[in-house]
Amino acid sequence: MILPARLSSRILALVALLLAAWPAHAAKVTFVLVNDIYEMADQQMQDGKTRGGFARLAAVVKAERSKAAAGGGTVIVAHAGDTLSPSLMSGLDQGAHIVTLTNMVAPDIFVPGNHEFDFGKAVFLKRMGEARFPLYAANLRAPGDATVPGFQDRRIVTVDGVKIGLVGLTYDDTPRASNPEDLVFRDSVDTLKEQAAALRRDGADFVVAVVHADRDQQRAMLATGVVDLVLGGHNHDLFISYDQNAALVESSYEALYVTAVDVDVTVTTTSEGRRAMAWWPQFRIVDTATVTPDPQVAAAVKGFQAELAAEMNVPLATTAVEWDARSATVRTREAAIGNVFADAVRTTMKTDAAILNGGGIRSGRVYPAGSAVTRRDVLAELPFSNRVVPVEIGGTELREAIEHGLAKLPDASGRFPQVSGLTIEADVSKPVGSRVMSILVDGKPLDPRRTYTVAVNDFIARGGDGYAMVRDAKHLLPTDDSPLLANEVMVHLRRLGTVTTGVEGRIRLK
């Protein structure tokens, strides 16, 4: 039968339209995200349930991979960084146990966070060299714009004909937050634009960025329109955002929760021969309180915990001067132990000054000159698991903070400041609020118009002991992303070996 020409052309057009809309490829991919996991063991939470830790994380990953294998799906496990530090064990082995445990989890893409650089460039390179999982950081370069050994910028993974583009981005403010030395960090958002364009040129249908970045940067990445899914770390919250164009996910911290994103991606071929992609996600939040720890990883954690316990009594340093940690001392006047602890955090944070509340030093002991100081001693002195938070504060507010710290004298008070980088003269016979006669910062008179950086513990950073002027200051690191105070003191003591810092006249009271 011969069809009329007009009808024939319509049928051909309809067939062409159907062919154009026919799915060329369809893929099911599950992205499993963990970020900011520092502690190797699980932890009991406020609700009485136990969550987190590497053994529970490993169990989640194994379950997801097993389910995908049985159902013909694909799993991509992403680690968005911050893990080598801080923890007590990391203070001992500079994160070696973390790499061992992460090797057992075997992520498919790992992006370093700022805490990967806490021990310096050489340790970072050593630890990354021990990794048995793929390392990504497109905005990280060695001097001379060379790629850092072992790292790649991007990759395309093909799943059932769908091309998944992966790019990794590390925290671009790491030089301020940590100690990467001469490593170079390019702007994350600009780098993402370049890398996504390169992935698209190479045929990527769906682009995923695994990033360690603050929330404003993560949102800016979505706003570029070049990325479909951002898997992030750094902010320590459980966060999911999806606007039917792009999605952003972060999985809390310490593997308390692990987020799985099930993505259906369909690629069609247009009448012009171009590939068109459509996708839809489903988000699953795994509460690790419901997860049975993986026995193999749990056994490895138990072994590391035994090592840590054995190291608690190993001396870190020897005091050449007496340390008086009694409350009547640390809460009323400059103390040698307070000077050393404050020096430790100012050195770590590279700040102009440091202020610790004397009430945070707790053992009540006196260490005679010549005493060996162990890790257990440091934990006895600093039992609250405080973190070190750098803040920016105006000169006027810094003076107010010192006035506040001296306000209870001559009575003992936990607010009394143990300081570094400051020389203070005060007359405690004067009225509260006008006792400070002078303050030198690094030997120069305090300038009320200038902004200073000050390292404090997270108790003061929250306004504890009445330090409201510090609570209202700009915090340069989120509290949960800041290093452990005890760890920084331990590292400082080990570096010194013999501690000669005594009472130096940092606080002169009349």
The domain locations on the chain are: 21-307, 314-509
Asked whether the predicted pLDDT for residue 2 surpasses 90, the reply is no
> Which pLDDT belongs to residue 7?
41
Nearest alpha-carbon partner for 254 in 232, 237, 270: 237
Nearest to 37 by CA among 309, 208, 251: 251
Residues 314-328: what's their mean pLDDT?
95
> Is the Cβ–Cβ distance between 196 and 238 less than 8 Å?
no
Determine what percent of the chain is predicted with pLDDT higher than 70.
Answer: 95
Confidence category of residue 507, pLDDT binned at 50, 70, 90 = very high
Whether 427 and 351 have beta carbons less than 8 Å apart is answered as no
* Residues 252-279, mean pLDDT to the nearest whole number: 92
Q: Does the pLDDT of residue 393 top 80, yes or no?
A: yes
- CATH class entry, domain 21-307: alpha beta
Task: Please tell me the least confidently modeled range out of 4-18, 69-83, 490-504.
Answer: 4-18
Tokens of 239: 């966060």
Q: Does the pLDDT of residue 110 top 50, yes or no?
A: yes
pLDDT higher than threshold 50 for residue 11 = no
Tell me: pLDDT of 508 over 90. yes
Position 17 scores a pLDDT of 46
To which residue do tokens 């690094």 refer? Answer: 442
pLDDT number for residue 12? 47
Beta-carbon count within 10 A of 494 CB: 16
Considering only residues 11 and 402, tell me which one the structure prediction assigns the higher pLDDT.
402
| Confidence at 249, pLDDT banded by 50, 70, 90 | very high
Q: What is the pLDDT at residue 23?
A: 54
CATH code of 314-509, in short, is: 3.90.780.10
* Predicted local confidence at residue 323, as pLDDT: 97
Hey, which bits of 19-89 come out as E strands? 23-34, 43-44, 50-51, 74-79
> Mean per-residue pLDDT for 129-136?
98
Task: Report whether pLDDT(13) > 80.
Answer: no
Over residues 161-190, the mean pLDDT reads 94
Q: pLDDT confidence of 270, banded at 50, 70, 90?
A: confident
Whether the pLDDT of residue 16 is over 80: the answer is no
DSSP states of 84-107: SSSSHHHHHHTTHHHHHHHHHH--
pLDDT of 457 reads: 96
Q: Which of the pair, 203 or 20, is modelled with greater confidence?
A: 203
In this predicted structure, the answer to whether residue 387 has a pLDDT above a threshold of 90 is: yes
Residues 6+ apart with CB under 8 A from 202: 156, 163, 165
Note the pLDDT tens digit of each residue in 400-459. 999 999 999 999 999 999 999 999 999 999 999 999 999 999 999 999 999 999 999 999
pLDDT number for residue 88: 84
User: Residue range 453-467: average pLDDT?
Assistant: 94
Q: Which residues touch 376 (CB under 8 Å, ≥6 apart)? A: 312, 313
CA dihedral 155, 122, 492, 385 (to 10 degrees): 20
**Residue-wise DSSP of 406-467:** TTTTTS--TTPEEEESEEEEE-TTSPTTS-EEEEEETTEE--TTSEEEEEEEHHHHTTGGG-
